Structure 1
Amino acid sequence: MNVSIQDPRTVGPRIRMMMPHLTPLEARVVDTILGRRDFDGTTPLKSVAEDAGVSEAMVVKIVKKLGFDGFRHFRTALDDYNRLPTAELHQELSPDDSGREIAQKVFRTSIHALEETLSILDPESFERAADLIFHARQRDLYGIGGSAQIARDVAHKFLRIGIRTNVFDDAHMMLMSAALLGPDDVAIGFSHSGATSAVIEAIELARRRGARILVVTNYDTSPLAAIADVVLCSTAQGSPILGENAAARIAQLVILDAVFAAVAQRDLDAAEKNLAATMRAVTAKRRTT
């Protein structure tokens, strides 16, 4: 996925996606820069280097590794990003926060993740994902832990409109599933980090079997993304308490909500008919007052 920094909203996601590829020293320098409250479009390179305890050449090397042309390009882009209205949405929890303030911060963190995920969503990848799911003979979903919960939510959505899927959250079952896939099938891997071994191994096997690969992750440069035909990428800012997983999980659920709608649109009559049938099937399970 190519993230254009012409849109200031993509600057934060671009930096976060590259952080796993930095050395500990490089990551510390970036964290130091991002933590500066006084950073703006006039902040000197010398000041940044001194604050981070590295040379000016090292700072330039790091920002180029992040994908910027140089320090001035990085400084302007980051300043534009920091001045966005949504930049203030993400706030850390404090020991003195009231219940109301905690709720506001958690909600705002998720809103921030949704705004930024939408800004980096690649329309072509989105359409290809919907096509793969719609046309597939077999759709097998792989995920561990929290990612498995997302896979189950996706499977539930699609079953409502007659699109049948299988969810596997056990390493052995994933491999058995992948071994039976073929060119008419799609394997969908869910992994926040994109580095979950069990999911990667199953996806690699599915690919060798000729299946098409769709990946949902928070890092488009991850090992899992590298073996995918299509990548749908979420993005969320890290937090000591909230982490990035929770907000990214919300973003991934919304991405798949959109994919669900796009798949339904490809045969709207069938989707509406199946939705009505599945709703009728569970009506008896609802208690009336």
Structure 2
Amino acid sequence: MVPEDANPSSIGPRIRMMLPSLTPREAHVVEAVLAMRDFGVETPLKRIAAGTGVSEAMVVKITKKLGFDGYRGFRAALAQYNRLPAAGMHQDLSPEDTSREIIEKVFRTSIHALEETLAILDVEAFDRAVDAIHGAQQRDLYGVGGSAQIARDVGHKFLRIGLRASVQDDAHMMAMSASLLEPGDIAIGFSHSGNTSAVIEAVQLARRNGARTLAITNYDRSPLAQQAEIVLCSTAQGSPLMGENAAARIAQLNILDAVFVAVAQRDYARAERNLDKTMSAVAANRRDKTL
């Protein structure tokens, strides 16, 4: 649900995060409104209904399902969001774009994702995730495809400060590893959509065994989010060419960089000692050029 008193910067992303919980027809209406560049406090209800092929009552019903008191509350909140400078940063890519336009659009989409993810990030959930990771005996990280790359990056960072983590990107390996988790361990599932079956099933199994569970996803009502004890959400708008994943990956990496720093801070002296050890261990493999 989108709180009526939500931070204006969070209105757009919170509405987008609700899309998976809507019916296809309801989602179509919301996506059409979000795509309207001229949507504002004067946009009449009948224009939305006529433009999307639904009744005015249907539009009102959808706005209430999103957590608003009706169309007027929805319109006021979204109009306020649309007036923010960051709201206009996202621009879709097109086949006619020049190299300069491509560069600017890609960078602005990522910056936009970072700004909006910061606006919606749940600090309480963040602290719970940090405490659970820091205190865990075993840390299992599950992800497929691009999400597996994020999991590997996080596992690498944790190892640098002496926190061992197992990264699994195969459904069978996830299931086997999750079956061995127990109270005092944590399973972290990575899935942009929150619909990746192998990750959901592994997190479910880990939770049944008493392990803590954390979801890193773009949708807080996704199946993965519903199965996890703790949820950290990114948010990103995509394009037909890039999809949402590209910008969301940047946002998720930043969330997890912050998690890494906070985990290290829990025992900074130990983290610093282990960082010195791991850096020394790989120093021999570097070739610093001398002039």
Change (3 A) 1:249 1:206: same
Matches within 5 A, 1:32-51: 32-51=32-51
Instruction: Note the aligned Cα RMSD (angstroms).
Output: 1.3
Partner letter of residue 101 of structure 1?
A: E
**Structure 2: which 5+ runs fail to align?**
none
TM-score by length of 1: 0.97
Counterpart contact for 2:2–2:11, Cα < 8 Å: no
Does residue 249 of structure 2 align to residue 214 of structure 1? Answer: no
Whole-Å separation in 2 of the counterparts to 1:142 and 1:112: 27
Aligned to 2:131: 131
What SS does the corresponding residue of 2:187 show, helix, strand or coil? strand
Could you tell which deviates more after superposition, 272-281 or 1-10?
A: 1-10
Please list the CA deviations of residues 187-211 of structure 1 after superposition, one character each: whole Å capped at 9, or x if unmatched: 1111111111101111111111110
Matches within 5 A, 1:11-160: 11-160=11-160
Aligned to 1:265: 265
User: How far 1:274 moved relative to its partner?
Assistant: 0.7
Aligned to 2:8: 8
Please list the CA deviations of residues 27-85 of structure 1 after superposition, one character each: whole Å capped at 9, or x if unmatched: 22112222222211111112221222211101001111112111001001110111111
What SS does the corresponding residue of 2:91 show, helix, strand or coil? coil
Counterpart contact for 2:159–2:165, Cα < 8 Å: yes
Counterpart contact for 1:89–1:112, Cα < 8 Å: yes
Whole-Å separation in 2 of the counterparts to 1:220 and 1:6: 16
Please list the CA deviations of residues 226-261 of structure 1 after superposition, one character each: whole Å capped at 9, or x if unmatched: 121110100001311121011001100000000000
Partner letter of residue 229 of structure 1?
A: E
Partner letter of residue 188 of structure 1?
A: I
Whole-Å separation in 2 of the counterparts to 1:98 and 1:265: 44
Whole-Å separation in 2 of the counterparts to 1:224 and 1:199: 8
What SS does the corresponding residue of 1:77 show, helix, strand or coil? helix
User: How far 1:5 moved relative to its partner?
Assistant: 4.7
Whole-Å separation in 1 of the counterparts to 2:121 and 2:5: 13
Partner letter of residue 284 of structure 1?
A: A
Please list the CA deviations of residues 155-194 of structure 1 after superposition, one character each: whole Å capped at 9, or x if unmatched: 0001000011000111111111011110010011111111
Whole-Å separation in 2 of the counterparts to 1:84 and 1:8: 8
Whole-Å separation in 1 of the counterparts to 2:31 and 2:220: 20
Counterpart contact for 2:2–2:15, Cα < 8 Å: no
Change (3 A) 1:115 1:5: farther
Aligned to 2:274: 274
TM-score by length of 2: 0.96
Whole-Å separation in 2 of the counterparts to 1:284 and 1:163: 22
Counterpart contact for 1:3–1:10, Cα < 8 Å: no
What SS does the corresponding residue of 1:110 show, helix, strand or coil? helix
Whole-Å separation in 1 of the counterparts to 2:245 and 2:4: 24
Please list the CA deviations of residues 10-36 of structure 1 after superposition, one character each: whole Å capped at 9, or x if unmatched: 111111111112222212211222222
Matches within 5 A, 1:180-199: 180-199=180-199
Counterpart contact for 2:2–2:14, Cα < 8 Å: no
Matches within 5 A, 1:248-263: 248-263=248-263
Please list the CA deviations of residues 136-155 of structure 1 after superposition, one character each: whole Å capped at 9, or x if unmatched: 00001111111111000000
**Structure 1: which 5+ runs fail to align?**
none
Partner letter of residue 171 of structure 2?
A: A
Counterpart contact for 2:9–2:81, Cα < 8 Å: yes
